[in-house]
Structure 1
Amino acid sequence: MGGLREVAAPFVVPGPCGVAIRTRLKHLTAEDEKVLRLIGDHLSSLASRDLKARCAAGLAHDSDQWAQRKRVLTEESSSRWAGSITKATHDQWALARRGQLAHLQGLEAGVRTITHRLSLPLGEKGSKRAPGGYDTRQEWFAKSRRLRLLDDRLRAARAEWEAGVVRVVRGGKRLLNTRHHLEQAQLTEQQWRTRWQAVRRFLQADGESGKRFGNETIRVTPDGEVSIKLPAPLAHLANAAHGRYVLATRVVFAHRGEQWADRIQANRAVAYRIHEDTGRSRWYLTASWTIPPVRTVPLEAARAGGLIGVDTNADHLAAWRLDTHGNPVGAPLRFGYDLTGTTQHRDAQIRHALIRLLHFAKRHGLAIAVENLDFAAEKTREKHGRKKRFRNLICGLPAGRLRARLVSMAAELGIPVIAVDPAYTSRWGAQHWQKPLTSKTRKTTRHDAAAVAIGRRALGHPIRRRTAPPRTHQSDGYGHRTVQARPEVLGREGTRPRVPGPRTRSVPPDAASTRATRTPKTVRDVRSDQEWVQDSLLLTD
């Protein structure tokens, strides 16, 4: 057991700190769409120039340069539009910087792994902690060449990191590269350009507390009227007072509409974003705001009424309900999803699976225990080598997306989410729970057993079912055998209550009194003159 790593303690996951809701802008006129595109294209050009200036500043950027960038943009838009653009630019640069650090760490990990494996003899077996040597001389030679390639990439990435140089594409690198593969994407050049312009348009404004309806740039009234403050070069397009353009549509937020209405009526900050879905020819409005962090319940209170352990897999969620003592209750649950197809389809599949899980937990008053998964260091080809199937399996697990969705949806229903260390849950769950929970009518899978292990770890119990009884005494004379009763449970040290009557159903009810007068089978009794005489043959050797 000395080679096992230390298992971290479970904890209650804090709730979300922000809210975002979306609705469709229906019945827009041709003039409305034209004005929205003109505003978005104009602000997009300003955002591109500002992003270029921010990337050129690099690590030397300070608050004075930020103020200067904002003053330059204010001349061609407004102070509020300039503030939204500079803030979005800074967030985009910071995101690229974090991605650059992750790429740098991945290159370092790959170099370390290849260097270690090249130093080992061919065919040497690896361990749980480190991989072994390469199988063939050909593979060793190919990996030595790859090491030189990774070294060059690492030096270049490290130099860019130290200089503060980042690479950002407004609109996304994937869509940009699609321009060179239009036939594979089944797009014409005009369709691609329309999509490219729609993604790059800038139509978002940050909220301001104390201002009318929480936002002066993009204003939405309680009755659903949407108006936009036009940039200075487009002021001639205004159809309302104070250089504003009012859309011909009225919006209604079906989800969290009451919360949104309460915020804007109290003039609290609400940020808005307008974007076009070119595939559906639709326009959408997204409202977002921050909320105070949800106060999480104590761990003991979260698991006081039992919980449901959940094991995340590539195509389903395996779950099992456990009581406070860590015993599985009822039958295992399975919530399936299909992660093929478009992004919207995959997101909807995960959402529907989580809804069914949350409804079950809410109906029975249970907390949810999940693994605190992080596959950032587990997806490298250098660590797992030729195990392509395993690497694809890890990449297919929607760990981050599912965790974010689960936390936000559970917070709305008031369901605590407990995160546990994922170490050895699948292995120990299959070892201790898969066979005992399998019967003639129910086949327990490895994932079901892992769900039980996750739930027991969240409850603070060991994963194994029982401790071994003393070898010198195969009874309860040495105390309670199981580890499932906690110290505060009354009667845990008491003796087993005696159940009167026979122990098997095959014995008739009067067998207890008959058994008391029955003589051993090794003694042959002969009745002679009302005396008991023992056969002398039994006394001989």
Structure 2
Amino acid sequence: MGGARKLAGSFVVPGPCGVAVRDRLGHLTPRDEMVLRAVGAHQGRLASRDLKARCADGLGHGADTWAVRKRDLTKESSSRIAGAITKATHDQWALARRCQAAHIQTLEAGIRTLRHRLSLPVGEKGTKRAAGGYRSRGEWFRKSRRLAALEARHAAVVADRQAGRVRVVRGGRRLLNTRHHLAEAWLTEDRWRERWEAERWFIAADGESGKRFGNETIRVTPDGEVSIKLPAPLAHLANAGHGRYVLTTRIGFAHRGQEWADRIAANRAVAYRIHLDTGRGRWYLTASWQRPAVQTMTLSAARARGVIGVDTNADHFAAYRLDRHGNPVGGPRRFFFDLSGTAGHRDAQLRHALTRLIHWAVRVGVAAIGIEDLDFTTEKTREKHGRRKRFRQLISGIPTGKLKARLVSMAAEQGLSIVAVDPAYTSRWGAQHWQKPLATPRRTMSRHDAAGIAIGRRALGHPIRRRTAPPPHDRSDRAGHRTAQAGPGTRGREGTRPPTTDRPPGGPSPSGTRKREPSASNTVRDAPSTQQWVQDSLTHTG
């Protein structure tokens, strides 16, 4: 494999740094809903105006312009609400800049591929590492037009980035485009308008350590009482002192409730957000807070008890357990999920599959899960894969970003570490070195199962390939098979295996009796199979 690219080193993925829990605001009175809608619409207008001002500042933004914007917002709300709005605006602008940079990289990748293929003669075959020329003159002409379109688009995006311009839609660009396809979305104009307005509302507040219950704007007491500090123009709607409105409902977080109660009892910062799910007609309150930095487990500690290698696919996780020496233990495990349907259904399927994977990892006693550090950003362009539309849809459907975030946060709760490895050649080398040797009449090994072994071995720091067996003319009980694994520090690991008995080769048996030679006429010569050394982990079913 002289042409193989250099592999990146494995590393332990840092754990989560924040927590978010949600509870429903049930049994709200009509007045409660009226106040929440009024607050959300008023602060949403302020957030839209502030985002417009921030985008107009572009690269010229500084502390002075931020102070001016915050003072203008404070007049129509409060200092804390103004701070929350400006912080959300800065985060949204920064996210738009990162998306803009990723879009430029995607365009550049497509332009490079098109230029390369257009430079080749028509009909020239490609290789495993580079695509060939186009099939016909007509396809060559159409791709030349697409190259011109991508170059023009790239120049426009680069000019916007250099000037500090971004394209941001409060409420979401996808929902905005749905306005032109109401029939396909099964929405009426009124229903779309209600959803659009709800997405543009702003009812959120950052926490403040040292303040009462960790938040002055949206306050939640230990017994579940929720109150909101109303903005100045809506102060006449208050039903409590100091311009506050107390909701009639009570909440109690079922998940992490004790952790949340401990934080507010110590007056530590907790951020809150209230939003309306228009599809269900329900109001929800989300609480979030930061966690202290947790010391990440070292790579050697993560490898100490073995790992579980996981190969990510479009409809399942293929997992295999390996001991610390890199030996496969037991059989392959597959955790299926269905990524069709709504976003909520896809997210639930992914969480359910990860939950089963993590529970299995805890049950077998490993300390880490090895997974590929996947990123299909530049791998799903039609310029690279051409007519392979189904393949592009396949890799586009794998939720790599959400998968990593979910797996890291869920594994941290069970004390497991995530080891990310370079994904190069794991499927190819896994199938080459592990698929056939592990296949038995009772065990079906797929290419994905073998890739799970390759990922696990790379996470452990071992090479993917198995140890080389002796030459065929020397494959006998005298030398023994050399396919079993041994620790890197074991002496004689490259030598032949020892005999199966305690006596030296050719010496008398421990019982002192002599074995009778089998008769060649009526006995099947299977005696050497009792002397053959077999790798224990390949037959272990633990």
Q: Give the TM-score of the pair, scaled to structure 1.
A: 0.91
AA paired with 2:319? A
Q: Find the counterpart in structure 2 of residue 288 from structure 1.
A: 288
Q: Find the counterpart in structure 1 of residue 430 from structure 2.
A: 429
Aligned partners of 2:371 and 2:421 also within 8 Å: yes
Q: Against the structure 1 CA distance between its residues 145 and 517, is the aligned structure 2 distance closer, same or farther, given a 3 Å change threshold? A: closer
Q: Find the counterpart in structure 2 of residue 132 from structure 1.
A: 132
SS at match of 1:288: strand
Q: CA–CA distance in 1 between the matches of 2:307 and 2:297?
A: 14
Give the deviation of 1:280 after TM superposition. Answer: 0.3
SS at match of 1:199: helix
Q: CA–CA distance in 1 between the matches of 2:401 and 2:65?
A: 35
Q: CA–CA distance in 2 between the matches of 1:517 and 1:281?
A: 85
AA paired with 1:332? P
Give the deviation of 1:355 after TM superposition. Answer: 0.6
Give the deviation of 1:104 after TM superposition. Answer: 1.3
Q: CA–CA distance in 1 between the matches of 2:497 and 2:352?
A: 49
Give the deviation of 1:471 after TM superposition. Answer: 8.1
Which runs of structure 2 are paired with 1:68-87 in the superposition (5 Å)?
68-87=68-87
Listed one character per residue, the Cα deviations across residues 449-501 of structure 1 (whole Å, up to 9, x for unaligned) are 11111111111211112224368965799999447212433674575134389
Are residue 309 (structure 1) and residue 309 (structure 2) matched? yes
Listed one character per residue, the Cα deviations across residues 197-235 of structure 1 (whole Å, up to 9, x for unaligned) are 111100010111111111000000111000000000000
SS at match of 1:276: strand
Q: Find the counterpart in structure 2 of residue 161 from structure 1.
A: 161
Rg bigger for which structure? Answer: 1
Give the deviation of 1:514 after TM superposition. Answer: 3.5
Q: Find the counterpart in structure 2 of residue 537 from structure 1.
A: none
Give the deviation of 1:416 after TM superposition. Answer: 1.3
Q: Against the structure 1 CA distance between its residues 172 and 402, is the aligned structure 2 distance closer, same or farther, given a 3 Å change threshold? A: same
Q: Find the counterpart in structure 2 of residue 236 from structure 1.
A: 236
Q: CA–CA distance in 2 between the matches of 1:444 and 1:127?
A: 29
Q: CA–CA distance in 1 between the matches of 2:515 and 2:255?
A: 72
Q: CA–CA distance in 2 between the matches of 1:129 and 1:316?
A: 27
Give the deviation of 1:369 after TM superposition. Answer: 0.9
Which runs of structure 2 are paired with 1:47-196 in the superposition (5 Å)?
47-196=47-196
Are residue 342 (structure 1) and residue 342 (structure 2) matched? yes
Q: Find the counterpart in structure 2 of residue 444 from structure 1.
A: 445
Listed one character per residue, the Cα deviations across residues 348-399 of structure 1 (whole Å, up to 9, x for unaligned) are 0000111111111111211211111111110111111111111111111121
Identity of aligned residues (%): 70
Q: Find the counterpart in structure 1 of residue 408 from structure 2.
A: 407
AA paired with 1:454? I
Q: Please give the root-mean-square deviation of Cα atoms over the aligned residues, in Å.
A: 2.3
SS at match of 1:27: coil
Q: Against the structure 1 CA distance between its residues 512 and 217, is the aligned structure 2 distance closer, same or farther, given a 3 Å change threshold? A: same
Which runs of structure 2 are paired with 1:241-280 in the superposition (5 Å)?
241-280=241-280
Q: Find the counterpart in structure 2 of residue 527 from structure 1.
A: none
Q: Find the counterpart in structure 1 of residue 375 from structure 2.
A: 374
Q: Find the counterpart in structure 2 of residue 499 from structure 1.
A: 501
Q: Against the structure 1 CA distance between its residues 53 and 476, is the aligned structure 2 distance closer, same or farther, given a 3 Å change threshold? A: farther
AA paired with 2:66? W
Q: CA–CA distance in 1 between the matches of 2:265 and 2:52?
A: 38
SS at match of 1:462: coil
Q: CA–CA distance in 2 between the matches of 1:458 and 1:23?
A: 38
AA paired with 2:382? R
Q: CA–CA distance in 2 between the matches of 1:386 and 1:378?
A: 14
Quick one: which of 515, 518, 521 aligns to 2:517? Answer: 515
AA paired with 2:334? R
Q: CA–CA distance in 2 between the matches of 1:517 and 1:257?
A: 76
Q: CA–CA distance in 1 between the matches of 2:27 and 2:346?
A: 29
Q: Against the structure 1 CA distance between its residues 140 and 515, is the aligned structure 2 distance closer, same or farther, given a 3 Å change threshold? A: same
SS at match of 1:346: helix
Aligned partners of 1:467 and 1:483 also within 8 Å: no
Give the deviation of 1:64 after TM superposition. Answer: 0.5
Q: Find the counterpart in structure 2 of residue 331 from structure 1.
A: 331
AA paired with 2:174? R
422-431 or 127-136, which deviates more? 127-136
433-442 or 239-248, which deviates more? 433-442
Unaligned ranges ≥5, structure 2: 506-510, 521-542
Aligned partners of 2:479 and 2:496 also within 8 Å: no
Which runs of structure 2 are paired with 1:469-480 in the superposition (5 Å)?
469=470
AA paired with 1:149? A
SS at match of 2:334: strand
AA paired with 1:6? K
SS at match of 2:76: coil
Give the deviation of 1:178 after TM superposition. Answer: 0.9
SS at match of 2:216: coil
Q: Find the counterpart in structure 1 of residue 357 from structure 2.
A: 357
Q: Find the counterpart in structure 2 of residue 390 from structure 1.
A: 391
Aligned partners of 1:368 and 1:417 also within 8 Å: yes
Listed one character per residue, the Cα deviations across residues 143-192 of structure 1 (whole Å, up to 9, x for unaligned) are 01111111111111111111011111000011111111111111111100
Give the deviation of 1:314 after TM superposition. Answer: 0.5
Q: Against the structure 1 CA distance between its residues 213 and 144, is the aligned structure 2 distance closer, same or farther, given a 3 Å change threshold? A: same
AA paired with 1:497? P
Are residue 453 (structure 1) and residue 454 (structure 2) matched? yes
Unaligned ranges ≥5, structure 1: 504-508, 519-541
Q: Find the counterpart in structure 1 of residue 214 from structure 2.
A: 214
485-494 or 302-311, which deviates more? 485-494
Q: CA–CA distance in 2 between the matches of 1:315 and 1:97?
A: 32
Q: CA–CA distance in 2 between the matches of 1:250 and 1:500?
A: 74
Aligned partners of 2:24 and 2:282 also within 8 Å: yes
